[in-house]
Every structure is written in C-alpha cells, then in structure tokens.
Amino acid sequence: MGKRIIVHERDHPYAVKLGDLAGFKNLTTDEKLLKYEVHICACGLSKNKPFCDGSHAKTHGEESDHVYTYDKEHSRSEVYEGYKE
Ligand code: FES
C-alpha cells in the first residue's frame, strides 16, 4: 500500500454541537444532549481520530509559508519553505 502526504493548515479542532447536525434534532429533545459539543481533529495529528486528542498543540509555532512533517512521536521536521496556494 502506498503512502500519502496530506496538507493540514488548521492548528485547532472543529467544535461541533450535536444539536447543529442535520437531522439530530429529529432524534431527541434532550436539551443537554443537543448542547453536547465534540471536537473533530483538523490538524491531522490526533491518535484518536476523528476526535481531537490535544496533539494540535505540537503545531503551534509553525510558520505559514513552511511545510512540516511529523513522525509518530509528533516530532516536527521542516521539509519545504516558500509554500503558497
Ligand atoms: S485538532 Fe488535531 S489533535 Fe486537536
């Protein structure tokens, strides 16, 4: 099986309230459940995907025009400078 490099630019998770999900309001009227918030990983480093596990803290300090890779222990290496979309 091949390997893929995927660019993630976000350094914090998406916060999603269950009550905001399409169709969820039709399943329950429990007010607490509708307000329950989950955090979805957007940095790509979580070991508990799709949920955030706080690993995004390792991305803080990245420079916007640089590209980095992270190993399994989340050690950062810079691989490219001058990145533009
Ligand atoms: S956003 Fe990826 S671990 Fe938090």
pLDDT per residue as tens digits for the range 7-65:
899 999 999 988 787 776 676 667 777 778 999 999 999 999 999 999 999 999 999 89
Which distant-in-sequence residues (6+ apart) come within 8 Å of 79 by Cβ?
Answer: 67, 68, 69
Identify the pLDDT of residue 28: 62
> Domain segments of the chain: what residues?
14-81
* Cβ proximity of 71 and 77 under 8 Å: yes
Quickly state the pLDDT bin for 82 (edges 50, 70, 90). confident
Identify the pLDDT of residue 25: 63
| Residue of 55, 58, 60 best suited for mutating to test ligand 1, as the one with most atoms within 8 Å of CB | 55
What's the CA-to-centroid distance between 1 and ligand 1, angstroms? 26
Distance CA 59, CA 69 (A): 10
Distance CA 12, CA 34 (A): 22
Q: Whose alpha carbon is nearest atom 4 of ligand 1?
A: 52
Contacts 24+ apart (CB under 8 A), 64-72: 67/7, 69/5, 70/45
Protein residues with CB under 6 Å of any ligand 1 atom: 12-13, 41-43, 45-46, 52-56
What's the CA-to-centroid distance between 67 and ligand 1, angstroms? 17
Identify the pLDDT of residue 78: 94
